[in-house]
């Protein structure tokens, strides 16, 4: 059994190679993103291991199946980039890593909140230039603020626990309330009721066909003026153009994004010598009250080890005929 491993970065190679000392499977690492142009590389690989910005649309899956691929091993939780219906029709199995380290993403979400609030990004630049003036750096206490957490699964819950530690009031929204969240004394509310009450709103739900652009000009207009919005979930949950307009008139006070709808082909690559063509991205990233990180919320040693270990366990179970709990259908 051979694994064709797409979008491989040095940190993936390091962690998978280390964990593979136990599993001893044959892995070929490709730096390339999986897409129609590169799919031929996967020929002969029974297993293809892919990540968030690899394309697993029907067209690519058909080519993979023709080349002998039987298993798609997603080394991430989200699978909105996989056409599951096509995969099932083609007789492929798809597995993911549903929980590798919810704390990694939760802590990054809170890091974005604190950075935007206390203007650490500005202070870092100023003090490097021996500018110790404090004007423009005024933040607010997290203590006593109301934070809206949309999506209260594993990452939402981990985020709520940190926020409660700061003394925040948390309001939650999820079509399927989580008893562990209720046990923490957190109230669930409808979105209409949550939006106007929150000083900070943080997204922790998957992207589905029903919640594309969940945050848009209508929802922004219902929020408290000057609200902080954080998205570490999936770019498509937030309409970036509408966010830019809401930033211009101060309706959004600050915006922290680890994900972006058009991140494919942009994030995970060094583009520092290129002119970024995406005007919305350029305008947003030029704002002093917007912080982008390039889909790095998961990027901790603990999460990478856990991803490698679960992915190789998934693949070993499927290829040896054992039951695998992480099969997507």
Shortest distance (Å) from residue 142 CB to ligand NAD:
21
Shortest distance (Å) from residue 232 CB to ligand NAD:
4
Q: Which of 33, 119, 145, 154 binds ligand NAD (CB under 6 A)?
A: 154
Do the beta carbons of residue 219 and residue 191 sit within 8 Å?
yes
- Which window, 57-65, 112-120, 175-183, 265-273, contacts ligand NAD (CB under 6 A)? 175-183
Q: Which of 38, 82, 106, 3 is nearest to 312 (CA)?
A: 3
Q: Does 233 bind ligand NAD (CB under 6 A)?
A: yes
Q: Does 155 bind ligand NAD (CB under 6 A)?
A: yes
Q: Which of 95, 223, 297, 315 binds ligand NAD (CB under 6 A)?
A: 297
Do the beta carbons of residue 243 and residue 271 sit within 8 Å?
no
CA 69 to chain centre: 26
Q: Which of 295, 307, 318, 326 binds ligand NAD (CB under 6 A)?
A: 295
Q: Which of 77, 112, 116, 252 binds ligand NAD (CB under 6 A)?
A: 77
Q: Does 152 bind ligand NAD (CB under 6 A)?
A: yes
Does 295 qualify as catalytic in the annotation? Answer: yes
Q: Does 259 bind ligand NAD (CB under 6 A)?
A: yes
Shortest distance (Å) from residue 18 CB to ligand NAD:
21
Shortest distance (Å) from residue 213 CB to ligand NAD:
11
Residue nearest to ligand NAD (CB): 153
- # of chain residues touching ligand NAD (CB under 6 A): 30
Q: Which of 45, 59, 60, 63 is nearest to 5 (CA)?
A: 45
Q: Does 234 bind ligand NAD (CB under 6 A)?
A: yes
- Which window, 164-172, 202-210, 220-228, 272-280, contacts ligand NAD (CB under 6 A)? 202-210
Q: Does 204 bind ligand NAD (CB under 6 A)?
A: yes
Shortest distance (Å) from residue 121 CB to ligand NAD:
19
Q: Does 232 bind ligand NAD (CB under 6 A)?
A: yes
Does 263 qualify as catalytic in the annotation? Answer: yes
* 171 token code pair: 């309001």
Q: How many CB atoms lie within 10 A of CB 322?
A: 9
The 3-state secondary structure of 4-50 reads EECCCCHHHHHHHHHHHHHHCCEEEECCCCCCCCCHHHHCCCCEEEE
Q: Residue 42 or residue 201: which is nearer to ligand NAD going by CB?
A: 201
Q: Does 63 bind ligand NAD (CB under 6 A)?
A: no
* 97 token code pair: 């890593």
- Which window, 112-120, 203-211, 260-268, 308-316, contacts ligand NAD (CB under 6 A)? 203-211
By annotation, the residues acting in catalysis are 234, 263, 295
Interacting residues toward ligand NAD by CB under 6 A: 77-78, 99, 102, 105, 150-156, 173-176, 178, 204-206, 208, 211, 232-234, 258-259, 295, 297-298
């Amino acid at each position: 059994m051979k694994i064709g491993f797409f979008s491989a970065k040095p940190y993936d190679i390091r962690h998978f190679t280390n964990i593979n000392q136990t599993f001893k499977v044959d892995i070929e690492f490709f730096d390339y993103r999986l897409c129609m142009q590169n799919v031929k590389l996967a020929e002969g690989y029974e297993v293809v291991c892919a990540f968030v910005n690899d394309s697993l649309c029907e067209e690519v899956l058909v080519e993979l199946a023709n080349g002998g691929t039987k298993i798609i091993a997603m080394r991430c939780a989200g699978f909105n980039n996989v056409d599951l219906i096509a995969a099932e029709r083609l007789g492929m199995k798809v597995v993911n890593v549903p929980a590798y380290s919810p704390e990694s993403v939760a802590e990054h979400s809170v890091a974005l909140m604190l950075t935007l609030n206390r203007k650490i990004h500005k202070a870092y630049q100023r003090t490097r230039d021996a500018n110790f003036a404090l004007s423009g750096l005024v933040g607010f206490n997290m203590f006593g603020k109301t934070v809206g957490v949309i999506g209260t699964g594993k990452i939402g819950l981990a985020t709520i626990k940190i926020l409660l530690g700061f003394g925040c009031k948390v309001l939650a929204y999820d079509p399927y309330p989580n008893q562990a969240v209720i046990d923490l004394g957190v109230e669930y509310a409808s979105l209409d009721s949550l939006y106007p009450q929150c000083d900070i709103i943080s997204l922790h739900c998957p992207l589905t066909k029903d919640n594309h652009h969940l945050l848009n000009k209508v929802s922004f207009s219902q929020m408290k003026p000057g609200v902080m919005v954080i998205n570490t979930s999936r770019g498509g949950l937030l309409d970036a153009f509408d966010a830019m307009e809401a930033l211009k008139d101060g309706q959004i006070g600050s915006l922290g994004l680890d994900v972006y709808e058009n991140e494919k082909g942009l994030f995970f690559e060094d583009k520092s010598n290129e002119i970024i063509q995406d005007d919305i991205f350029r305008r947003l990233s030029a704002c002093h009250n917007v912080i982008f990180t390039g889909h790095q919320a998961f990027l901790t040693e603990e999460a990478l080890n856990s991803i490698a270990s679960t992915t190789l366990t998934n693949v070993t179970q499927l290829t040896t005929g054992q039951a695998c709990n992480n099969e997507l259908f």
